[in-house]
Amino acid sequence: MPCLKKSFVTRLLIMTSLFFSTAFVFAETATVSWDANTESDLSGYKIYYGTSSGNYDDVLDVGNTTSFIINNLAVGTTYFFVVTAYDFSANESGFSGEVSFTPTQGTPPQITGVSVGDDTKLDVLFSRSLDKASAENPANYSINGGVQVLAASLDADLRTVHLTTSQHTKGQGYVITVTDVTDVDGTPIASGSTQGYNIPADSSTDTTAPQLVSVNVKGATQIDLNFSEPLDKASAEILGNYSISPNIEVIVAALDQNLTRVHLVTSTHQRSVEYSLSVNNIYDRAANPNKVTSNNTVIYTSDGSQEIKQSTQTFSLHQNFPNPFNPETEISFFLEKQREVELKVYNPLGQLVKTLVSAEMPQGDHKVVWDGTNNDNIQVPSGVYIYSLEVKRDVVKGGLLVNVSLERRVKKMTLLR
């Protein structure tokens, strides 16, 4: 197999402002982005970086993606970056052109989500590592509807704050406001930063099963699975709970610290082959654990795309337009026949943002507009969102046509306020 071309990158960028294209950049964080290599045997990319030009002490194998966020960079230090590409036989290209970036203090932390534990437990997720004293001051958090914040504890990841509150009302939507919380560099959050969230109608009895939301292909032997809610670690790391056909063995299953993502190491995928991944017997973290829907299945291809590919033989989900967008975007999809359909929007943590469609729909093309609001009609912040089209799969059993499992198509979109 020939080696990859040396000139595989025509443009290498470091995102250095709050917004650039579709990515965020925060102090101590750089988003490296580059043009894709178009050769058919491409397997992935590596980022080399260091603190002097031409000398790269660190290397990251980032899989088949053209953008990657590097964290924990020192404020005021200049970093130098290059990228290489490699094929399925481990042949590696030469370096791309070098770019540099100096992280600066001043970009404020942002709220990235709220996870509901029960009527009195919330986790507030932030974009940056926080100062412990300010993050654990209950006075820095306020919730509408008369809910009081009684205690705040900063997680070891420094980006998650566990709140204990007075009783919420079941089935009601709330908004939390955060003030005077600072990051580890002393930069305060924007005054009056808010995030909406919902308390389930019966939060003491969680009966919602976890769902597989998306698959990210990281390389020929690495894929990440994103679920709709935090998972039980023991069941999420059992190899037998994952099945990939044709002929892929799951070698390692590791639950990420965010508890909603599972990293799989597998035998080698073949290029441009469509695969079917099914998960079974995985549970959430509810008091009475809920099991994932049997044979929860997604279809993906091994070409490195970070979205699930469409099978044109059945139904299809199209890229939203415009993308990026503000204030609204149109999502279109095709059904080859009448089907039960759910079209939902999720945040990158796998948390449900909005249900756009939940109905039986006729054969043909369909279009739905998302206006950038959640299920409480509250405007959501800028960022990358995942939209998922889910349908029932028809199978013949005993001469009868029945709906036995779910199939999904998933894509990403970017909202810019």
The highest-confidence range among 20-34, 53-67, 205-219, by mean pLDDT, is 53-67
Q: How far apart are CA 400 and CA 207, in angstroms?
A: 29
Q: Are strands 160-165 and 149-154 parallel, antiparallel or unpaired?
A: antiparallel
Residue written as token pair 């925060």 = 26
What pLDDT is stored for residue 393 in this prediction?
Answer: 57
The region of weakest confidence among 107-121, 194-208, 211-225 is 194-208
Q: In a 3-state reduction of DSSP, which class is residue 372?
A: coil
Alpha helices, H only, 304-364: none
Half-sphere exposure of 158 (CA within 13 A, CB side): 12
Which CA distances in Å does 369 have to 183, 353, 365, 410? 36, 14, 14, 16
- At residue 353, the pLDDT reads 92
pLDDT at 303: 58
Of residues 67 and 312, more confidently modeled = 67
Identify which has the larger pLDDT, 414 or 310: 414
- Which range in 12-21, 63-72, 235-244, 292-301 is most confidently predicted, on average pLDDT? 235-244
Q: How many CA atoms lie within 13 A of 357 on its CB side?
A: 22
Give phi and psi for 140, each to the nearest 5: -85, 0
Kindly state the percentage of the chain with pLDDT values over 70.
83
* pLDDT tens string 284-337: 887 788 888 776 777 777 654 433 333 334 677 888 888 888 889 999 888 877
Is residue 137 within 8 A of residue 154, CB to CB? The reply is no
The per-residue pLDDT for 21 is: 26
> Which tens digits make up the pLDDT trace of 334-393?
887 788 888 999 887 778 899 999 888 888 888 899 999 999 999 999 888 888 888 865
**pLDDT of amino acid 402:** 44
Highest mean pLDDT among 42-51, 175-184, 397-406: 175-184
Beta strand 242-245 pairing with 250-255: unpaired
Q: What integer pLDDT is reported at residue 212 of this predicted model?
A: 82
pLDDT digits (tens, 9 = 90+) for 151-165: 999 988 788 899 999
Q: CA 242 to CA 264: how far, in whole Å?
A: 9
> Which residue segments constitute the domains of the chain, with CATH numbers given?
12-101 (2.60.40.10), 111-198 (2.60.40.1220), 212-301 (2.60.40.1220), 316-415 (2.60.40.4070)
Helix (H) or strand (E) holding 391: strand 383-397
pTM: 0.37
User: Quick one: residue 239, left, alpha or beta (phi over 0 = left, psi -120 to 50 = alpha)?
Assistant: alpha
Q: In 84-127, which ranges are continuous DSSP H helix?
A: none
Query: Rounded distance, CA 295 to CA 407, Å?
Result: 9
Lowest mean pLDDT: which of 23-27, 258-262, 389-393? 23-27
**Is the peptide bond preceding residue 348 cis, with omega within 30 degrees of 0?**
no
Select from 150, 115, 145, 127 the least CA-distant residue to 231: 115
Mean pLDDT of 29-41: 76
Binning the chain into helix, strand and coil, the percentages to the nearest 5 are: 5, 50, 45
Peptide bond before residue 246 is cis, with ω within 30 degrees of 0: yes
* Phi and psi at residue 139, to the nearest 5°: -65, -15
State the chain's mean pLDDT as an integer.
78
Helix, strand, or coil (residue 151): strand
The 3-state DSSP class for residue 214 equals: strand
Reading the block at residue 276, the tokens are 């079917």
Residue 271: both structure tokens together: 């290029």
State the first-to-last Cα distance of the chain, in angstroms, to the nearest integer.
Answer: 46
In sequence order, the 6+-apart residues with CB closer than 8 A to the CB of 219 are: 43, 44, 61, 63, 64, 304
Top pLDDT among 208 and 379 is at 379
Kind plus residue range of the DSSP H or E element containing 134: helix 132-135
Query: Of 11-15, 55-59, 116-120, 392-396, which range is least confident?
Result: 11-15
DSSP string, 37-61: P--TTEEEEEEEEESBTTB--EEEE
In whole angstroms, how far apart are CA 407 and each of 100, 223, 252, 313, 390?
Answer: 43, 18, 24, 13, 6
- CB contact at 8 A, 124 and 161: yes
